[in-house]
């Protein structure tokens, strides 16, 4: 059999070279697209993105999830610190924690619920107002305390603390006369880190 012409072998080699170059450029383009997508995902808060990137699109802090505690019995001489998890009454003699929402009964006219920290704010809501985070953020009719005898079951208070927490406090009632201790029963919904914390 006569030998195959050399020009056919040259065409074969040239074809392989061209095919190799095509595969190289396809692979290079694919790698570039992959790196670009990875970089975009990092900057936009995708997998591997930064915590700041995972925030809302307009750069604002995400709305905090509410934590609700029902049937909290707050005794005389005790307070609630809204940062506690879970929320629990603390004795006013307990040091190291700022007393925020307090209940004291040693007043003329009966017990009072009050905001004890200097930079804290408390307001009594009207019945027509919605008990929402937005309402408690916006309310400005502040009081230092409120007499418990003025509160009917279902009355609501907004509390804002200098540590950045907001609470909706719903009054459920007072201990009966026959009870061995003096306390108020509350439902408390807390939005932690819902406002800017204040210094001092």
Q: What are the structure tokens assigned to 38, written together?
A: 């990875």
Q: What's the mean pLDDT when you consider all of the chain?
A: 79
CB contact set of 194 (below 8 Å; sequence gap of 6+): 63, 64, 133, 137, 164, 165, 166
How far is residue 149's CA from residue 81's CA, in Å, rounded to a whole number? 23
CA distance 79 to 48: 42
4 vs 63, more confident: 63
pLDDT for position 58: 60
- Residues 79 and 113: their CA atoms lie apart, in Å, by 9
Mean pLDDT, range 113-121, rounded to an integer: 91
Share of the chain above pLDDT 90, in %: 59
pLDDT band of residue 45 (cuts 50, 70, 90) is very low
Question: Which pLDDT score, from 0 to 100, does residue 106 have?
Answer: 84
For the residues of the chain, what is the DSSP string, one character each? -PPPPHHHHHHHHHHHHHHHHHHHHHHHHHHHHHHHHHHHHHHTT-TT--TTTTS-TTSPPPPPPPEEEEEEEEETTEEE-TT-SS--EEETT--SS---EEEE--STTS-EEEE-STT-EEEEPPTTS--SHHHHHH---B-SEEEGGGPPTT-EEEEE-TTS-EEEEEEEEE--TTSSS-EEEEEEEEETT-S-----
Extract long-range pairs of 44-48: CB within 8 Å, 24+ residues apart.
Answer: none
> Which pLDDT score is estimated for 16?
45
């Amino acid at each position: 059999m006569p030998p195959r012409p050399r020009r056919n072998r040259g065409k074969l080699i040239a074809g392989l070279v061209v095919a190799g170059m095509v595969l190289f450029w396809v692979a290079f383009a694919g790698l570039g697209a992959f790196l670009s997508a990875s970089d975009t995902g990092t900057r936009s808060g995708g997998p591997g993105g930064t915590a700041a990137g995972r925030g809302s699109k307009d750069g604002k802090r995400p709305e905090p999830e509410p934590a609700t505690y029902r049937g909290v019995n707050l005794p005389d001489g005790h307070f609630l610190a809204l940062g506690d998890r879970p929320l629990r009454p603390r004795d006013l003699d307990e040091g190291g924690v700022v007393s925020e929402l307090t209940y004291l009964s040693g007043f003329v006219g009966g017990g009072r619920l009050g905001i004890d920290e200097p930079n804290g704010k408390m307001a009594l809501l009207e019945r027509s107002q919605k008990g929402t985070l937005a309402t408690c953020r916006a309310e400005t009719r502040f009081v230092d305390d409120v007499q418990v005898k003025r509160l009917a079951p279902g009355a609501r208070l907004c509390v804002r603390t200098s540590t950045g927490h907001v609470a909706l406090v719903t009054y459920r009632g007072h201990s009966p006369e026959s009870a061995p201790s003096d306390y108020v029963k509350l439902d408390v919904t807390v939005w932690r880190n819902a406002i800017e914390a204040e210094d001092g």
